Chain A
């Protein structure tokens, strides 16, 4: 099973003729993902090592049956790219682009919700369902197929924890990087509820960080709606308030968004929070190992 992606997913890459787009499209295909099309306006009819390029997403969908779009276009074109993918009829959009203005994301988010099209990102590393498909920039070699669902605001911490799990012989059902922006297409709750419904997933690791209140809301959701165990990690206990730490969304404003508040919200509901990535992997291994 896995969530969001499996071996039947058919991917169109928007921005496939750019440096990052072509590099990762080919890497995703090499993993076994069905990368069936690329899209760059004005380059229709060309191909990227055998992947046909179309002028529009609609043409790519009509020509290849693509149902997932992967977006690598620069930030100024990203909002239009998201609208175009949604209008072309894909069911899921994965947006890697960093630096999209927040007000544009607000509009895009609401447009997609109304249409029932899924979005992961922006400013995210993508999604991998190990053994089935890899859509984005995650390094597939550190993952293996298994029963742990991973959801994270941070790419590198996802890799860190996946690596530690895999080293203990514990595989993953799907790993989802939801992204580090203030407004993201899929929240922790969106992904947690999919893992709850996924028969392959037995346990979920949730990786949060300073900023916003999504972790607190996820804590309430887990307590009310999840029967599967969840292990959490929160980064940034010692981050100073008022400074943006890497991600656009990783900022403590006033007394809101601290790691301590997130940890307490989780722990008061009985959700275990590891003090570092290694301990998170150990706790998870102790439950499903």
Chain B
């Protein structure tokens, strides 16, 4: 789960890391109160869980109170990548300073956390122009990762010109900050803790942005990190989650469903290779029961009924999987109960027992293709019923 910027900054504040003064506001009148207390000029930042906020117009610099309500209202109503903000963060506007980059992430191949640092932060890191210094910290080294230890590692990793550009006191502050981030990273089950830009004013550091991702599988034991409700899931996402299905909307023309994550990815690629587009990703998982498969196809049917771009449903089942026969029965049941579905259903079944699976599906009028290519071709050229 990703945190909103203001939630990430609240975590940094608890760690003793400086951030610009400011508050999260849900509407223009709250924003006015906060801005008046901060003084002008100030910054208004859209609180969304997606990137590209600055380019999309989600950040405004406000010179005085006369500008504030209109800017707050504009940002609150501005969707970014289809997402409306939970509110805005109103902050004091800081003078320009030297932009650095600091983060902690996983090094998957070494199986340990890795500290990331660049003396050239901001857009240069985002554009991939600045190379990041990587300091992996082995799990057995974690107790020894003191500020002095981190400072020495960072200092040794920088090239001579980069090191010369940072004063010894600033280097120490960077080491202290990274060591601090590292312990929070482990304590709070984080997958990513990133500050970009991290601004250096003299020898002091201020975090003007925060990107934090918490491990979904450990979220149950990290309740203090989330301060605002998440945007409500769409109806289909909610139904999918309740049925333990993974659903991602992709807005194309073929509704897809398969019993396995890799199989689903492979099916997306097959659809794109044919020149068509997937309407969604829907993984029932390996051990799909009758009920899960039924609900999966019901979700495709309901989505397809509302979206006239959808021309076909395409179900792929690997019958090698335990209880795959149950899954075919769930799909057949959904088709049998909804003969008025305007979108035709196609299927492809693979593996042992494919003949029986095919028979179960064909009995209710589902066209079963001999291979994926044929199935995709049928689906991509199918027509909705009027």
Contact = CB atoms under 8 A, between A and B. Distances in A.
Interface of A: 23, 75, 99-107, 109-110, 113-114, 125, 137, 139, 141-142, 152-160, 163, 180, 182-183, 187, 207, 209-210, 212-214, 217, 235-240, 242-250, 255, 259, 275-278
A278 B322 contact: no
B286 A157 contact: no
Interface residues of B, number: 51
B109 interface: yes
Given A102-B217, A235-B269, A237-B269, A246 B372 contact: no
A110 B111 contact: yes
Contacts of B273: 275-276
A59 B320 CA distance: 35
A239 B278 CA distance: 10
B123 interface: no
Given A106-B112, A217-B109, A245-B248, A239 B268 contact: yes
15 contacts: A75-B217, A100-B217, A102-B189, A105-B111, A113-B111, A114-B140, A125-B286, A154-B260, A156-B286, A157-B262, A159-B321, A160-B350, A182-B191, A276-B269, A276-B372
B352 interface: yes
Given A137-B286, A163-B350, A156 B258 contact: yes
Contact of B265 (A107, A114, A155, A246): A246
B265 A102 contact: no
Which of B128, B216, B264 is the most central at the interface, judged by chain A CB atoms within 10 Å of its CB? B264
B189 A207 contact: no
A100 B273 CA distance: 35
Contact of A214 (B108, B128, B262): B108
Contacts of A180: 261-262
Contacts of B50: 242
Contacts of B261: 154, 156, 180, 209, 245-247, 250
Interface string B174-200: 000000000000100101000000000
Contacts of A213: 108-109
Nearest to B317: A156
Interface in B238-291: 246, 248, 250, 258-266, 268-273, 278, 281, 283, 286
B157 interface: no
Given A235-B262, A276-B266, A276-B269, A246 B320 contact: no
Contacts of B259: 156
B262 A139 contact: no
Nearest to A163: B351
Contacts of A142: 320, 351-352
Given A142-B351, A236-B268, A157 B260 contact: yes
B139 interface: yes
A159 B321 CA distance: 8
B218 interface: yes
B256 to A, nearest CB: 11
Contacts of A107: 139
B262 A209 contact: yes
B136 to A, nearest CB: 12
A163 B218 contact: no
B106 A159 contact: no
A260 to B, nearest CB: 11
